[in-house]
């Protein structure tokens, strides 16, 4: 079977790329079509990666949302009719490819920035850029909805996203939980005295909320990650808050293992980071909305705070006692989301529905 993989962007490593790595493991000879490819940040040596010819030489790719109107035509220009199966991994764009092949889409989310969270996504951009992007949103959002009928089948991450696929596209989807590296992320060491955030520092992740809460609490908070919000957050933070930047996977593992708890203040469609922390046996304190409702067991593997405010988070952290949590119970919950389980379920679905 001749297979092509389509992935929105290859410019950073995150949950979408973990899905891509497993799909590529199943189909190692398949080319990967993508709109934008940053070779410095994505270490997929030896892969057949085919960046859009229409976008390859665009300047200022750091501000890729400015090119929103170019993306629909670029993704539709991929020539995919010679393949038997197209497997797209989409959080907005790749599900819109045109092809006569069987098309299975693993939908991480419909375009949430177009339909739900625009202000949160662009809050860190310059004022002029925000104004330009906002004018493009309606057209792109309409394209997203109109192309929702193109895949033959939808797979997705959780009930939360399945509901959105039904809402925006009118389509049913099968849930296959995304892969968590539970063999790598494992318990070890002794918990220290700090709390942890691990995130890209972008507006919708709401790390500002954690900074504000811990400024008042005075407790140690370690923040792993980089992004456009970093300078602003550093200015807001008091001396009990440390910014560690980008760290290696081995360092991240150690920080997970030795934190008192992971702080997860944003709303995610699914959210891999809380499961990585749970795989290390550490509890999670999360905003009670989005994918964590399916991955966190309140009172057993972590705690929720009800309102997305510094005061609500501060109250839960102030009353937090890690002695109430069992590391083995927490890890057992994370094992439901293993990489091997994802790969097995994905292969079974492709074997059954991957050919016309």
Q: Say if 146 falls within a structural domain.
A: yes
The rounded distance, in Å, linking the Cα atoms of 332 and 337 is 10
The answer to whether residue 123 is domain-embedded is yes
Distance between CA atoms of 170 and 199, rounded to whole angstroms?
Answer: 32
Do 127 and 160 reside in the same domain of the chain? Answer: yes
* Pairing label, strands 221-224, 85-90: unpaired
Q: Which of 94, 120, 124, 117 is nearest to 106 (CA)?
A: 94
Cα gap 153→69, rounded to integer Å: 26
Domain housing 289: 195-336
| 175 and 80 both lie in a single domain | yes
308 plus 225 within the same structural domain: yes
Over its C-alpha atoms, the chain yields an Rg (Å, rounded) of: 20
Tell whether 35 and 153 lie within a shared domain: yes
Same domain, 164 and 212: no
Residues 93 and 153 reside in one and the same domain = yes
174 and 215 in a single domain? The answer is no
Same-domain pairing of 331 and 343? no
Length of the chain: 356
**190 in a domain, yes or no?**
no
Residue-wise pLDDT for 1-20, tens only, equals 999 999 999 988 888 999 99
pLDDT digits (tens, 9 = 90+) for 276-334: 999 999 999 999 999 999 999 999 999 999 999 999 999 999 999 988 999 999 999 99
Residue pointed to by tokens 């952290």: 317
Which CATH number do you get for residue 120? 3.40.50
Residue 191, burial from CB neighbour count under 10 angstroms (0-12, 13-18, 19+): middle
Examine the domain organization and report whether 140 and 199 are in the same domain.
Answer: no
Residue pLDDT, tens place only, 252-286: 999 999 999 999 999 999 999 999 999 999 999 99
> Cα–Cα distances in Å, from 74 out to 48, 56, 77, 81, 134?
18, 10, 5, 16, 20
Q: How many domains does the chain have?
A: 2
Report whether 339 contacts 179 (CB < 8 A): yes
Residue 222 belongs to a domain: yes
Interatomic CA distance for residues 132 and 124, integer angstroms:
14
Q: What residues have CB less than 8 Å from 25, skipping those under 6 apart?
A: 343
pTM: 0.87
For residues 88 and 95, is the Cβ–Cβ distance under 8 A?
Answer: yes
Contact between residue 264 and residue 209 where contact means Cβ atoms under 8 Å apart: no
pLDDT of 59 higher than 80:
no
**Are residues 332 and 344 part of one domain?**
no
């Amino acid at each position: 079977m001749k297979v092509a993989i389509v992935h929105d962007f290859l410019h950073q490593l995150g949950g979408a790329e973990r899905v891509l790595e497993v799909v590529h493991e199943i189909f190692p000879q398949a080319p990967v079509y993508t709109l934008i490819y940053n070779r410095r940040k994505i270490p997929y040596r030896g892969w057949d990666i085919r960046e859009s010819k229409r976008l390859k030489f665009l300047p200022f790719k750091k501000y890729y949302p400015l090119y929103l109107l170019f993306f629909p035509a670029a993704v539709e220009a991929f020539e995919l009719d010679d393949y038997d199966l197209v497997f797209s991994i989409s959080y907005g764009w790749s599900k819109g490819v045109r092809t006569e092949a069987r098309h299975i889409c693993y939908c991480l989310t419909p375009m949430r920035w177009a339909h739900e969270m625009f202000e949160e996504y662009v809050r860190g951009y310059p004022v002029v850029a925000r104004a330009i992007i906002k004018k493009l949103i309606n057209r792109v959002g309409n394209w997203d909805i109109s192309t929702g009928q193109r895949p033959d089948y939808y797979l997705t991450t959780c009930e939360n996203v399945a509901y959105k696929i039904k809402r925006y596209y009118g389509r049913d989807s099968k849930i296959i939980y995304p892969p968590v590296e539970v063999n790598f992320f494992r318990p070890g060491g002794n918990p220290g005295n700090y709390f942890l955030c691990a995130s890209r520092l972008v507006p919708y992740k709401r790390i500002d909320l954690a900074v504000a809460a811990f400024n008042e609490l005075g407790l140690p908070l370690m923040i792993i990650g980089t992004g456009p919000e970093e300078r602003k957050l550093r200015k807001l933070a008091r001396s009990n808050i440390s910014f560690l930047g980008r760290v290696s996977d081995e360092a991240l593992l150690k920080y997970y293992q030795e934190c008192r708890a992971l702080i997860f203040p944003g709303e995610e469609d699914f959210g891999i980071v809380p499961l990585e922390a749970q795989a290390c046996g550490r509890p999670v304190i999360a905003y009670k909305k989005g994918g964590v409702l399916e991955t966190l067991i309140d009172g057993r593997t972590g705690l929720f705070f009800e309102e997305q405010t510094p005061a609500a988070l501060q109250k839960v952290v102030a009353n937090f006692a890690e002695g109430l949590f069992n590391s083995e119970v927490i890890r057992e919950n994370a094992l439901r989301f293993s990489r091997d389980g994802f790969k097995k379920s994905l292969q079974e679905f492709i074997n059954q529905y991957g050919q016309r």
